[in-house]
Amino acid sequence: MKPAIIISTYPNKKSILKIANELVKNKTVACVNFSKISSIYSWNGKIESTSEYLAIFKTLTKNKVLLKKKIKETHPYDVPEIAEIDVTSIDKSYLNWLIESTT
C-alpha cells in the first residue's frame, strides 16, 4: 500500500477540527496535522492577506479519492485548496502505522 498526503487550507480552527475528527474516526485518514499560517493571495482581482489553518491529511492512496470528495463537500471556501503531495519515500514503521490506522 502507498501513502498519500493531501493538503488544504481552512479559515479557522473550528472548521478543520470538525472534518479532521470525522475523517480520523471513520479511518479515511490516519492523522491530520494543522497549524495557523499567514496567507497572501489574489481573490476576485484583489490581493488578500489573512490568517488560515494549513491542514495536512495523511492517508493511503486507496482513500485519496474519498478524502478529496469529502474535503470538497464539507469545505467552507468556494474554491478549496486540495493538493496532493507525491510521496516517493516514507519510513517503513510510519507506513505500517498509517496502514493500521486506515484499515
Residue 1's pLDDT is what?
Answer: 87
Tell me the domain boundaries of the chain.
Answer: 3-101
pLDDT of 48:
95
Per residue in 73-83, pLDDT tens? 999 999 999 99
Angle made by CA atoms 94, 61, 73, in degrees to the nearest 5: 115
Quickly count: other Cβ atoms within 10 Å of residue 11's Cβ: 14
Per residue in 26-74, pLDDT tens? 999 999 999 999 999 999 999 999 999 999 999 999 999 999 999 999 9
Q: List all residues 6 or more positions away from 14 whose beta carbon is below 8 Å from its beta carbon.
A: none
* Per-residue confidence band for 13, with pLDDT thresholds at 50, 70 and 90: very high
> What is the chain's percent helix, strand, coil content, to nearest 5?
35, 40, 25
Q: Which fold has domain 3-101?
A: Alpha-Beta Plaits (3.30.70)
Nine-digit cell string for 10: 481552512
